[in-house]
């Protein structure tokens, strides 16, 4: 640590009077001076700690105790990170995929405004709607979900500085049972699929799905990393059977997420009147709770109907989201009955009712500048769709 | 050299260490994409540049480099020094030693001792604006000295 107790010299910007070259030179010298004067042990320790943290995030860290041992371990981790070319070749794909998703999680949780459009494919439908059914905004731990409910009203729910909230259909702010405002498809087996935020959804991926890194794709000048996942048998039933996420390789931001409920189901069993999916543990009907606004919000579409595969050639791109990533590849062991199949290759339906939705797609679009009160419940108390 | 580059881009942003690590992690993941015919340092700096710009966008932070033209010139400086940076630190130290006393003083206080502008201002009994100007002039003089002595081309 330096004399002033700071880790870095205070930055003085380059002179505004100079040319571009002189500004570049000043910045170059600033970087060089900082690098050669920074005490090596401080810098190494900080970077080693960061390296250890990053490796721990990717699931490879071994807990160590003691400062000296930790330093050694950290140094090893750092050295590993520096010369990782060969190691990369033997790193399990799923670990890389998990690390990528975790990096995206970190990015989404980071400061900044994010907006995602939500579309769903319901039983009996063959293509995603062109117009988004919902919009999810988030910034600094606050979020706002706006959905066009099938019944025609608007579902408004979010989290502000005072916690989660939802707007009652007949008006008023509900905080005690805010999650009851969510449509049925937003929960699975009692667990929220989308109820917290996109970051929770990402976290769920790393915990509940076997992830694998698929090929990277280039969209314009951006490289997008594609991750596929299959729900673990041990995971909560009712979660999607398959997921695919597209993560910007540079920004780590989640660009697109697709969840598919299309796993072939076992023969019927379970409670009377329930299809096998229900018996298997699929999303149950939401229990009514006194005072809860669940039915006021209408929930999601009724279950039932047979699932249909999407059209050959995939779904139309969402509006305003730029070119969408290509659809996930149909990989052995991943897409059991993927949406890339044509109608003639449709999933083996079986006598099940199907889930409340067939597919959920979340697509990042450019976020507008959110007003300071955009996430506050009071701002949306009138139940209107509104704009930032 | 990567650390120096990040400092040049980000000034004294506390996220420099995180980004340093992030660059390595991205490089690790994308090692297969690296063309061995290219300069590895330049490739790392390309990643660092993108991450730093994204960091600036996400955090609403201003980068030390505000214009692309300046950024390109800065990249050219680092490209020219390249992997031989460590061989040239003696030349940089000599240039610091050759600075006029008041400039050398503020460089040492700022970069070696990590003093705040206010502290330097009080220690030297000059206005903070004067300290800023001296730092800027000292850096320009150092760049000129490095050019003269062949540390940078």
Same domain assignment for residues A37 and A179? no
Domain check: are A86 and A111 in the same one? no
- Best of A2, A3, A9 to substitute, by most chain B Cβ atoms within 10 angstroms, is A9
Q: Which candidate, A266, A282, A273, A289, places its Cα nearest to that of A350?
A: A266
B102 pLDDT more than 80: yes
A149 pLDDT higher than 50? yes
Domain boundary residue among A65, A91, A117?
A91
pLDDT score, position A332: 31
The minimum CA-CA distance between B15 and chain A, rounded to whole Å, is: 11
pLDDT value for A376: 92
Alpha helices (runs of H) in chain A, residue ranges in sequence order: 20-37, 40-57, 67-82, 85-90, 93-109, 198-208, 276-280
Are B147 and B89 within one domain? Answer: yes
pLDDT at A238: 58
For A221-260, b where at least 16 C-beta lie within 10 A, e where not — what string? eebbbbbbbbbeeebbbbbbbbbbbbbbbbbbbbbbbbbb
Which segment, A124-138, A156-170, A184-198, A302-316, is predicted with the most confidence on average?
A124-138
pLDDT band at A11 (very low <50, low <70, confident <90, very high): confident
* Domain identity same for A158 and A238: yes
Q: What is the pLDDT of residue A35?
A: 79
Chain B CA closest to residue A7: B114
Is B72 a member of any domain? no
Q: Are residues A40 and A186 in the same domain?
A: no
What's the CA gap between A223 and B30, in Å, rounded?
Answer: 11
Structural domain ending residue among the three candidates A44, A63, A91? A91
Q: Is the pLDDT score of A284 beyond 60?
A: no
Looking at residue A323, what is its pLDDT?
38
Domain boundary residue, one of B66, B98, B114: B66
For residue B60, tell me if it sits in a domain: yes
In a shared domain, residues B9 and B36: yes
Q: Is the same domain home to B55 and B108? A: no
Question: What is the rounded average pLDDT of the residues B125-142?
Answer: 92
**Which of A5, A8, A21, A29 best probes binding to B when mutated, by most B CB atoms within 10 angstroms?**
A29
Q: Is residue B75 part of a domain?
A: no
In a domain, B76, yes or no: no
The interface predicted TM-score of the complex, written ipTM, equals: 0.92
Q: Are residues A68 and A200 in the same domain?
A: no
Structure-block tokens of residue B17: 């260490």
- Does B85 have pLDDT greater than 50? yes
For A224, the closest chain B residue by CA position comes to B30
Same domain for B109 and B152?
yes
In a domain, A11, yes or no: no
What six digits make up the tokens of A372? 């300071």
| B125-149: average pLDDT | 91
Rounded to whole angstroms, how far apart are CA atoms A71 and A83? 18
**Do the chains contact at B58 and A251, CB–CB below 8 Å?**
yes
Q: Is the pLDDT of residue A201 over 70?
A: no
Report the pLDDT averaged over residues B45-60. 83
CA angle A311, A313, A316 (to 5 degrees): 80
Kind and range of the H or E element at B24? helix B16-29
A217 and A356 share one domain: yes
Closest Cβ opposite residue B28 in set A22, A37, A88: A88
Residue A42 near residue A69, CB atoms below 8 Å: no
Measured between CA atoms, how close is A15 to chain B, in angstroms?
A: 6
Is residue B129 in some structural domain? yes
* CATH code, domain carrying B148: 1.10.10.10
| Residue A8, domain member (yes or no) | no
Nearest CA in chain A to B14: A8
Q: Which pLDDT score, from 0 to 100, does residue B141 have?
A: 93
Total count of domains within chain A: 2
| pTM to 2 decimal places | 0.41
- Last residue in a domain, options B66, B94, B119: B66
Q: Are residues A38 and A154 in the same domain?
A: no
Give me the mean pLDDT over the B112-135 stretch.
Answer: 89
- Residue in chain B nearest A79 by alpha carbon: B24
What is the per-residue pLDDT for A27? 92
Q: Which chain A residue's Cα is nearest to B78?
A: A28
Average pLDDT of chain B, as a whole number:
83
Q: How many CB atoms lie within 10 A of CB A118?
A: 22
For B58, the closest of A5, A26, A111 (CB atoms) is A111
In angstroms, the separation between the Cα of residue B123 and the nearest Cα of chain A is 13
Provide mean pLDDT across the span A332-346.
26
Domain that holds residue A77: 20-91
Lowest-confidence region among A169-178, A305-314, A334-343, B27-36: A334-343
Between A254 and A137, whose confidence is greater?
Answer: A137
Q: Give residue-wise pLDDT tens across range A222-235.
A: 788 888 888 877 66
Is residue B73 included in any domain, yes or no?
no
| A296, part of any domain | yes
Average of per-residue pLDDT values in chain A: 61
In a domain, A5, yes or no: no
Q: Does the residue A316 lie in any domain?
A: yes
Residues of B in contact with A7 (CB under 8 A): 14, 114
Using CB atoms, pick whichever of B21, B77, B142 lies closest to residue A50.
B21
| A209 and A125 assigned to the same domain | yes
Q: What is the pLDDT of residue A184?
A: 55
Domain end, chosen from A36, A65, A91, is at: A91
Nearest residue to B6 via CA among B20, B24, B18? B20
Q: Smallest Cβ distance to B54: which of A32, A47, A251?
A: A251
Task: Give the distance from residue A160's alpha carbon to the nearest chain B alpha carbon, in angstroms.
Answer: 20
> A134 and A44 share a domain?
no
Q: Is residue B53 domain-shared with residue B115, that is, in the same domain?
A: no
CA angle (A177, A180, A181) in 5-degree steps = 110
Domain extent at residue B121: 85-153
Mark whether A248 and A297 lie in a shared domain.
yes
Region A25-53: mean pLDDT is 65
Closest partner residue to A31 (CB to CB) among B7, B22, B28 is B7
Is pLDDT of A89 > 50? no
* B122 contacts on A by Cβ (under 8 Å): none
Residue A1: inside a domain: no
| Residue pLDDT, tens place only, A232-277 | 776 655 567 888 888 887 777 778 888 887 766 554 443 333 333 3
For the cut 60, the answer to whether the pLDDT of residue B56 exceeds it is yes
Q: Are residues B95 and B51 in the same domain?
A: no
**Domain match, A167 and A308 both:** yes
Interface test with B, best of A1, A3, A35, A42 (most B CBs within 10 A): A35
Number of domains chain B contains:
2
In this prediction, residues A122-147 reach a mean pLDDT of 84
| pLDDT exceeds cutoff 80 at A70 | no
Name which residue leads in pLDDT, B65 or A271.
B65
Question: Does A45 lie in the same domain as A116?
Answer: no
Structure tokens, A182: 């969510």
* Confidence at residue A280, expressed as pLDDT on a 0 to 100 scale: 31
């Amino acid at each position: 640590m330096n004399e002033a107790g700071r880790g870095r010299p205070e930055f003085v910007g380059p002179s505004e009077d100079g040319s571009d070259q002189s500004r570049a030179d000043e910045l170059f010298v600033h970087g060089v001076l900082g690098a050669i004067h920074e005490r090596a042990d401080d810098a190494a320790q900080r970077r080693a700690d960061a390296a250890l943290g990053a490796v721990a995030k990717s699931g490879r860290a071994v807990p160590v105790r003691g400062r000296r041992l930790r330093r050694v371990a950290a140094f090893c981790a750092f050295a590993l990170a520096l010369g990782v070319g060969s190691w990369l070749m033997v790193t399990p794909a799923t670990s890389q995929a998990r690390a990528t998703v975790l990096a995206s999680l970190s990015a989404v949780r980071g400061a900044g405004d994010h907006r995602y459009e939500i579309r769903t494919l319901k039983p009996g439908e063959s293509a995603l709607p062109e117009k988004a059914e919902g919009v999810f905004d988030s910034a600094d731990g606050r979020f706002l979900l706006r959905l066009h409910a099938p019944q025609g009203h608007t579902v408004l729910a979010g989290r502000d500085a005072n916690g989660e909230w939802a707007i009652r259909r007949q008006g008023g702010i509900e905080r005690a049972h805010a999650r009851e405002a969510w449509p049925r498809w937003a929960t699975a087996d009692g667990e929220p699929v989308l109820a917290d935020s996109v970051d929770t959804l990402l976290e769920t991926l790393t915990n509940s799905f076997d992830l694998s890194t698929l090929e990277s794709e280039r969209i314009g000048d951006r490289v997008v990393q594609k991750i596929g996942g299959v729900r673990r048998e041990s995971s909560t039933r009712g979660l999607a059977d398959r997921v695919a996420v597209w993560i910007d390789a540079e920004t780590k931001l989640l660009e697109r997420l697709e969840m598919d409920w299309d796993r072939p189901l076992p023969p019927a069993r379970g409670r009377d009147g329930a299809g096998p999916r229900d018996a298997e543990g699929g999303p149950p009907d939401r229990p009514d709770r006194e005072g809860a606004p669940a039915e006021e919000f209408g929930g999601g579409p009724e279950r039932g109907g047979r699932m249909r595969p999407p059209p050959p050639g995939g779904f139309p791109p969402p509006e305003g989201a730029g070119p969408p990533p290509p659809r996930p590849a149909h990989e052995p062991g991943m897409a059991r009955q993927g949406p890339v199949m044509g109608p003639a290759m449709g999933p083996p339906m079986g006598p099940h009712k199907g889930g409340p939705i067939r597919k959920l797609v979340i697509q990042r679009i450019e976020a507008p500048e959110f007003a300071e009160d955009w996430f506050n419940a009071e701002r949306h108390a009138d139940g209107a769709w509104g704009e930032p | 050299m990567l650390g120096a580059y990040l400092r040049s881009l980000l000034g004294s942003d506390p996220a420099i260490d995180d980004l340093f690590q992030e660059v390595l992690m991205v490089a690790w993941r994308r090692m297969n994409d690296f063309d061995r015919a290219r300069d590895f340092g330049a490739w790392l700096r390309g990643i660092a540049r993108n991450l730093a710009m994204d960091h600036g966008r996400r955090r609403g932070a201003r980068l030390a480099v505000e214009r692309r033209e300046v950024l390109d010139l800065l990249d050219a400086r680092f490209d020219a020094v390249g992997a031989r940076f460590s061989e040239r630190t003696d030349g940089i130290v000599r240039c610091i030693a050759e600075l006029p006393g008041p400039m050398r003083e503020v460089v040492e206080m700022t970069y070696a001792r990590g003093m705040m502008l206010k502290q330097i201002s009080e220690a030297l009994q000059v206005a903070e604006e004067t300290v800023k100007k001296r730092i800027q002039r000292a850096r320009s003089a150092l760049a000129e000295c490095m050019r003269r002595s062949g540390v940078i081309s």
